[in-house]
Amino acid sequence: MSEVKKIVKESTVAELLSVSGGIIAGIILSSMTGILERVPGMLAAIPAFLNMRGAIFSSFGARISTRLHIGELEPNYKLKGLALEEVLASFTLGISQSILIGIFAYLASLCMGVSPSLPYLLGIFVFAGFLSNVIMITVTFFSDIWLYKRGIDPDNVIGPYITTIGDTIGLLTIITSVKVWGI
């Protein structure tokens, strides 16, 4: 198969998964109306949280893919050396961004006339960030390796696939975190 056909085929499948996953994420978001009514600042913070997940982990996937292509990583499922460094960098970025988003949710709530607890909102977003980091790092890393081992270029698939998975996982971890923190 020519390289162009291969790229189009791999990318089309990824985009179809992305659209389907986007619908699932929308359904999950629509189930959160009660939470959003009680803490309206979360409505402003959720898009930032989801965008962060997609940006961090599609970049993580691209870095792993590049390291596989240039031979810096072996296509195995071991988190060591450069792979572990990439994981730690992405994990740290995810947590630091979750803290900022918790602060943003607090400020947005204040602007809307609601006074939620700052530690409460930080707790929700940091816990959701932690959970989604663990899941997204695992899914992204193993997907990159799995695709690469099957001769599929992860660069053609990981971006849309991971951003969609990130939206779904991000919403589910926010719901879980809210339940843990007791909204």
pLDDT digits (tens, 9 = 90+) for 121-141: 999 999 999 999 999 999 999
Q: Which of 46-60, 62-76, 84-98, 104-118 has the lowest mean pLDDT?
A: 104-118
Q: What is the CA radius of gyration of the chain?
A: 18
pLDDT average, residue stretch 158-165: 86
Q: Which residue has the higher pLDDT, 95 or 40?
A: 95
Q: 3-class SS at 79?
A: coil
Residues 61 and 56: their CA atoms lie apart, in Å, by: 9
Q: Which of 20-29, 76-85, 127-136, 156-165 has the lowest mean pLDDT?
A: 20-29
Q: For position 127, what pLDDT does the model report?
A: 97
Structural domains in the chain, CATH included, are 3-181 (1.10.357.20)
- pLDDT above 70 (res 179): yes
